[in-house]
């Protein structure tokens, strides 16, 4: 039986489980994400980050979600760079799933649920995402959720001391 995947707005109480996942998975995520200071991997560091995310949410520029499996925090799905103006109505989507919960369909379901939030709650028209060129699992998640690749951003992210290209993705929500 597969577990139930849900998303909800992040809360300060999510800091400890997020920090535990991030500390455990630091090596697994090293090839996909920029280096972070040691405090990032602590509950205190995550609580500060969550406070900043919630402030940005109140300002209308971010929808910071957590991904849950049967009510337990297993990752995040964050809508950022929200441009709600009638002639734009777009944002970017980023997500991660803890290694202990990967390969169980959670990422695909979480992206689908985040798309529903973006369309129904945020009233957005377009969503963008990016992946590393060799992150085939994330590309599969995006493709299964109706995204199409539309280009490459050259030398767009510094990972492990080297600049890497990113594959750009888009999806219309209407």
Per-residue pLDDT of 3-50, as tens digits, reads 799 999 999 999 999 999 999 999 999 888 998 999 999 999 999 999
Per-residue pLDDT band for 54 (boundaries 50, 70, 90) equals very high
Domains of the chain: 5-172 (3.40.630.30)
- Token look-up 């920090």 returns 19
Mean pLDDT (whole number) for 57-72? 97
Output the pLDDT for position 1.
46
Residue 71 reports pLDDT greater than 80:
yes
Per-residue pLDDT band for 2 (boundaries 50, 70, 90) equals low
For residues 91 and 130, the answer to whether their CB atoms sit within 8 Å is: no
Output the pLDDT for position 130.
97
CA 135 to chain centre: 14
Whole-model pTM: value is 0.94
Ordered DSSP codes for 6-48: EEEE--GGGHHHHHHHHHHTHHHHTTTS----GGGGSHHHHHH
Residue 160 reports pLDDT greater than 80:
yes
Ranking 52-56, 71-75, 118-122, 158-162 by mean pLDDT, the lowest is 158-162
């Amino acid at each position: 039986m597969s577990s139930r995947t849900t998303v909800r707005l992040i809360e300060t109480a999510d800091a400890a489980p997020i920090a535990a996942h991030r500390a455990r998975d630091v090596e697994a995520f090293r090839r996909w994400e920029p280096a972070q200071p040691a405090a990032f991997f602590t509950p205190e560091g995550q609580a500060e980050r969550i406070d900043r995310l919630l402030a940005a949410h109140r300002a209308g520029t971010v929808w910071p979600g957590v991904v849950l499996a049967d009510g337990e925090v297993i990752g995040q799905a964050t809508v950022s760079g929200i441009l709600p103006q009638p002639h734009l109505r777009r944002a970017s989507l980023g997500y991660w799933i803890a290694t202990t919960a990967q390969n169980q369909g959670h990422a695909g379901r979480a992206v689908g649920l985040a798309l529903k939030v973006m369309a129904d709650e945020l009233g957005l028209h377009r969503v963008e995402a990016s992946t590393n060129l060799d992150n085939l699992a994330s590309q599969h998640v995006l493709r299964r959720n109706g995204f199409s690749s539309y280009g490459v951003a050259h030398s767009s992210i510094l990972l492990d001391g080297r600049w890497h290209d990113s594959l750009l993705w888009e999806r219309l929500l209407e």
